[in-house]
Amino acid sequence: MKRYAKSEVAILITSLFSEGGDWRSIYFFAKRLEAQGRSIALVSVNAKRGFRQMWAAAVFAPRLLVNGLGTLTKWPMLLICLWRKDARIYLHETGYMLDEFKASSPYRYRIVSRILSRNPLLCVSKQAEEMYRQRFGNVRTHVVYECPGDVKPPDLDPSKKNIVMVGSINERKGAELFSRVADLAAEKHREWAFHWIGGKASMNKLYQSENVTWHGWQWNPREFVYQCDLFFLSSIDDPCPLAALEAIHMGKPCVAFLGTGTAELISNLENCEIFSHFSEQAALAAIDGCLNRVTRPLGEATNYAIDRTSPKGFEKSILRTFES
């Protein structure tokens, strides 16, 4: 209740991360606002608790935005939009798609037509806006072109030792530890620069240091890893995140806490460090040891770790489970 009441807007969506692209623009919009510290509620109505969440959003959120015809045509959403006349509907569909829906679900189409004749409509082009106006007689329309997201690659300062973490900003990922390490380093290692890639995923108040560049959610976190000098997995509890694997495959020094699955892979790697006490002092010492050590070429242990986590190694591991 508090989450939705405090949100600027609740976005209701079905096709999140599907092969179609109608979710991308609105997802980028939500993540950019989250990166600015603003409160956005993104509700996947097909999720396990989607039914409960969509009704909570409908009752308590001051603003609703429904993404696409696929979301709107669900029966609970039709009822919500009949009630919430202020709910914005962001449509990506053509007249051909609307005709198909009308032929397959004529009764539901009548309800959709009523909603689209009076609720504010967001249209992806002027051509689409004109089509919706003619079809539904709605004059409360706005053109909101699709957005491909921020495709500009990162440009980390090469004169700095760039230390990167990729993950959601929450307690488990160690956002506060990362911040405290950056604060300690600011006093002793001015040539170090700390970067966090990921949006906030916690309702709790967390300390986020000004000595960290908080990039927010990014479509291309691998580019940050590629440019970094060290990957610092600050998590207190993490099985084996993909970003850390990517860093290992790129030959980047990696620092991780003993309680993570990543520690299994880097325990014998020459350019990596594990800290056993979850504190800023221990983490800082591990990072310092990595950055000051003479970098060596990939050794046998590194190649072994990469082989186990390569596409070919992954394929073999999966198939082996069926044979045993």
pLDDT tens column, 194-232 = 999 988 777 678 999 999 999 888 878 999 999 999 999
Range with the poorest average pLDDT among 98-107, 128-137, 141-150, 172-181? 141-150
- For position 197, what pLDDT does the model report? 93
Residues for the chain: how many in total? 324
DSSP code string of 69-126: HHHHTSHHHHHHHHH-TT-EEEE---HHHHHHHHHH-HHHHHHHHHHHTTS-EEESSH
Is the pLDDT reported for residue 166 higher than 70? yes
- Domain range holding 70? 2-143
Q: What per-residue string of b and e applies to 232-258 under the rule 16 or more CB within 10 Å gives b?
A: bbbbeebeebebbbbbbeeebbbbbbe
Q: Are residues 248 and 286 in the same domain?
A: yes
Is the pLDDT reported for residue 302 higher than 80? no
Around 41, how many Cα atoms within 13 Å sit in the side-chain half-sphere? 28
Q: CATH number of the domain that 8 lies in?
A: 3.40.50.2000
Could you tell me how far CA 165 lies from the centroid of its own chain? 14
**What's the CA dihedral at 68, 71, 75, 78 to 10 degrees?**
-40
Around 186, how many Cα atoms within 13 Å sit in the side-chain half-sphere? 12
Q: pLDDT, tens digit, for every residue of 235-267?
A: 999 988 999 999 999 989 999 999 999 999 898
Residue 199 domain flag: yes
- For position 199, what pLDDT does the model report? 81
Q: Residue 277 and residue 257: Cα distance in Å, rounded? A: 8
Confidence band of 31 (pLDDT split at 50, 70, 90): confident
Two tokens at 222? 């691998």
Q: Residue 58 and residue 53: Cα distance in Å, rounded? A: 9
Q: Are residues 138 and 187 in the same domain?
A: no
Confidence band of 300 (pLDDT split at 50, 70, 90): low
Distance between start and end Cα atoms, the chain: 49
Q: How many domains does the chain have?
A: 2
For residues 279 and 292, the model is more confident at 279
Element housing 262 (H / E): helix 262-266
Q: Are residues 119 and 263 in the same domain?
A: no
Residues 162-169, mean pLDDT to the nearest whole number: 95
The order of strands in the sheet holding 161-166 is 212-216, 192-197, 161-166, 230-233, 254-257, 273-275
Q: Residue 164 and residue 71: Cα distance in Å, rounded? A: 37
CA 172 vs CA 38, 154, 227: distances in Å: 21, 26, 25
Q: Are residues 130 and 255 in the same domain?
A: no
Q: Are residues 127 and 210 in the same domain?
A: no
- Radius of gyration of the CA atoms of the chain, in A: 24
Q: Which of 101, 117, 143 is the last residue of a domain?
A: 143
